[in-house]
Amino acid sequence: MAVVSRKEYIGVPRDALENYKGNQLLFISWDHHMLAAAPIMFRAHPSTRLGELIDTQLVPLLQSDPDAASIDWNKVEWLKGTEAWTPDFDRSLADNGIRHKQQLRMRTPGLRTLSPAE
Amino acid sequence: MDMKTTKKKLSAKERYRLLTRDLAWEPTYRSREEIFPYTQYEGLKITDWNQWEDPFRLTMDAYWKYQAEKERKFYAIIDAHAQNNGHLNITDARYLSALKIFLQAISPGEYSAHKGFARAGREFGGVGTQVACQMQALDEIRHAQTQIHALSNYNKFYNGFHAFAEHRDRIWYTSVARSFFDDAMSAGPFEFMMAIGFSFEYVLTNLLFVPFMSGAAYNGDMATVTFGFSAQSDEARHMTLGLECIKFMLEQHPDNLPIVQGWIDKWFWRGFRVLGLVSTMMDYMLPKRVMSWREAWNIYGVENGGALFRDLARYGIRPPKNWEHAEKAVDHMSHQFMLGLYQWKFGTAFHGWIPSDEDMDWLSKKYPDTFDKYYRPRWDHIKKLEAQTGTTFSNFGLPKLCQCCQLPTLFTEPDDPTLICHRESEYKGEIYHFCSDGCKDIFDNEPEKYIQAWLPMPALMRDPVDGDLGAWMDWAHLQDGVDNGDFHASQDKANFERWRAQSSSNQ
């Protein structure tokens, strides 16, 4: 059941989209790269071009990783949520179907300096 | 002439009966359901409240006597500690980070436990249970008070102790313990007892108490040590109450078994996640370490916990669902979390530091399968970056938090320590994220409860902070450049060393 209670109980999500004044949240992480210890939270307008968010906000935060300079953005594999996905860097978050609080994951096979595979 | 006889003194048994059991009555003009409206909705079947045995059989007058004696002794030692500049006896000022976390995250939990037991003391239908819960409510508020008093002397000299109530309410790592207690307090009285009385105060208590209290003893902190002694006999009563609770629930009706098992699964996992903070304290923050988190887990988790669940097997109880995942996580969690705390130390009301060479050699020895393979490379890389840039390493990318335990989702897949564990659920059109299967299962079982969680990081992106880190610090009562950042650049370090030098020389 939705919650153990004595009578009907309706929870109100605090992080709902309407609480962000037209912006949305999204999360981005880089598989097998844990120098940034957790997926990163971003707040952006849904009309933001994906490429702009990546260039101006994500890339600076990845610089401390020794693999950062070797990323070939044309070869990065992506997951949106749990589904494999091909991003269009020229289009907006909304047009890319990136929902509020969605998790995007980058994979760069073969590039794993600080966490080598078994 | 009649002989005058002195009135016979009551025996302990009579005393207990008169001052506890006989305080109850059978209602005549209201039903039991009206007076105790919360004892049925959780689905437990209680047939006879009189089966509840209070093993300590404490009456209020005995309680006051014992507790007053402990208070007198406790405050005498706290006074002496203050008069004697006891704070200068700690091994070194790194130890203070453990104390700050304790005051900001754990002591408020004692106060929450107090509220929860006071409520349970009203809501339970049996007088024995009511009296036991009321006494525990008094114990818990006394623990909150004595902890605050024990640490108050440190507040005179060091940073980060000055706003623990606001830190508990507003900071991110403190919301881990906060949400743990909020979850328990907003559950029904039986679940509350299972969560706090049993899972926390019986199964997991040593994993909290030993590191902090032994940690205090090993690191010269007499104030916290004396708190530990003052609380010890209370904790013995709490453990007994917790164990009595679970036995009572299981013996009242066989239908209670799946409900109790579900609570054991949930609260073991939530408790394990809260202990993530303790793991960093044991492995990284105590200058003189008691033992490693792994060693503590082997004794108090595997051995003691194993024995307990073998004992409970006769009721049909099995070990908690995510026990194996916990076992796999033990060799990784302190390192993963400390790396996080270090890179986000601009946002902590305590200082962080890179472990020294000696520290890393100790960690290699205690974690032979994991430290050198996964974590020393990261610490070494951070050291290299700091040498190159001349600045301390910070990651201004704020972390995704788990909707359930509220920790940053920095823990890894049980079978791949190089891959963050990503789990998510969708409920009524919204996406929710989790650090683990354990937390996702808790959410999926009662989504309406967890969707309303106040998560500190998403909240930072709303009013009144609106994404401004400086505004967040002001709002969170975190003094930038004073409470946060690198230990080696801190006022605490400089002051401690200067005062210690002054106390042993004629400068």
Q: pLDDT tens, B199-225? A: 999 888 899 988 899 999 999 999 999
Q: pLDDT tens, A18-51? A: 999 999 999 999 999 999 999 999 999 999 999 9
Q: What is the ipTM of this complex?
A: 0.98
Please determine, for residue B457, whether its predicted confidence score (pLDDT) is greater than 90: yes
- Which residue is closest to B385 within chain A, CA to CA? A64
Contacts of B57 (CB under 8 A, 6+ apart): B12, B16, B20
Judging by beta carbons within 10 Å of its beta carbon (0-12, 13-18, 19+), is residue B117 exposed, middle or buried?
A: buried
Give the closest residue to A48 by CA, choosing from A15, A104, A105, A95. Answer: A95
Please determine, for residue B392, whether its predicted confidence score (pLDDT) is greater than 70: yes
Rounded average pLDDT over A85-95: 98
Distance CA B128, CA B53 (A): 7
Please identify which residue in the block is written with the tokens 């669940």: B309
Distance CA B470, CA B457 (A): 14
Within-domain flag for B92 = yes
For residue A106, what are the β-bridge partners? A30, A78
Set of chain A residues whose Cβ sits within 8 Å of the Cβ of B385: 64
Q: pLDDT tens, B418-454? A: 999 999 999 999 999 999 999 999 999 999 999 999 9
Domain count of chain B?
A: 1
CB-based contact B238:B167 (threshold 8 Å): no
Give the closest residue to A83 by CA, choosing from A63, A66, A97, A64. Answer: A97
Give the rounded percent of residues in chain B with a pLDDT score beyond 70. Answer: 99
CA distances from B445 to A3, B22, B263, B438, B449 (A): 7, 40, 11, 11, 9
B256, two tokens: 């209670």
pLDDT at B18: 85
Q: What is the DSSP code string of B300-351?
A: IIIIHHHHHHHHHGGGT----TTHHHHHHHTTTHHHHHHHHHHHTGGG-SS-
The pLDDT confidence band at residue B5, using thresholds 50, 70 and 90, is: low
CB-based contact B238:B227 (threshold 8 Å): no
Sign of torsion over alpha carbons A44, A47, A53, A57: negative
Within-domain flag for B252 = yes
How close, in Å, is residue B396 to chain A by CA atoms?
7
pLDDT at B16: 82
Angle, CA of B442, B446 and B450, to the nearest 5°: 80
Interface of B with A in 220-279 (CB under 8 A): none
CB-based contact B42:B190 (threshold 8 Å): yes
Judging by beta carbons within 10 Å of its beta carbon (0-12, 13-18, 19+), is residue B150 exposed, middle or buried?
A: buried
How close, in Å, is residue B76 to chain A by CA atoms?
45
- Which residue is closest to A66 within chain B, CA to CA? B381
Distance CA B405, CA B96 (A): 25
Check CB contact under 8 Å for B400 and A103. yes
The CATH number of whichever domain residue B384 belongs to comes to 1.10.620.20
Contacts of B353 (CB under 8 A, 6+ apart): B94, B342, B486, B487, B488
Within-domain flag for B365 = yes
How close, in Å, is residue B421 to chain A by CA atoms?
10
For residue B424, what are the β-bridge partners? B433
Set of chain A residues whose Cβ sits within 8 Å of the Cβ of B440: none
Give the closest residue to B173 by CA, choosing from A38, A82, A58. Answer: A38
Rg, C-alpha atoms of chain B: 24
Q: In the A/B pair of chains, how many CB contacts fall below 8 A?
A: 141
B335, two tokens: 């390192």
Mean pLDDT of chain A: 96
Rounded average pLDDT over B40-48: 94
CA distances from B185 to B109, B221, B438 (A): 11, 32, 20
CA distances from B288 to A42, A106, B59, B351 (A): 39, 41, 42, 17
A56, two tokens: 């101006």
CB-based contact B352:B395 (threshold 8 Å): no
CB-based contact B342:B354 (threshold 8 Å): yes
Within-domain flag for B41 = no
Alpha helices in B92-221 (DSSP H): 95-101, 107-123, 127-157, 164-170, 174-185, 189-192, 205-218
Task: Report strand pairing: B412-413 vs B416-420.
Answer: antiparallel
Set of chain B residues whose Cβ sits within 8 Å of the Cβ of A54: none
Most B CBs within 10 Å: which of A5, A32, A34, as the mutation test of the B interface?
Answer: A34
Check CB contact under 8 Å for B453 and A37. no
Q: pLDDT tens, B145-169? A: 999 999 999 999 999 999 999 999 9
Set of chain A residues whose Cβ sits within 8 Å of the Cβ of B377: 114-115
This prediction's pTM: 0.96
Residue B254 has, within 13 A of its CA and on its CB side, a CA count of 2
In terms of residue numbers, what domain contains B407? 46-503
Q: Is B451 on the interface with A (CB under 8 A)?
A: yes
Within-domain flag for B38 = no
CATH number of A17-107: 3.10.20.560
Give the closest residue to B56 by CA, choosing from B229, B238, B250. Answer: B238
pLDDT at B6: 67
Set of chain A residues whose Cβ sits within 8 Å of the Cβ of B336: 34, 37
CB-based contact B256:B45 (threshold 8 Å): yes
Closest partner CB to B400 (pick from A3, A32, A41): A41
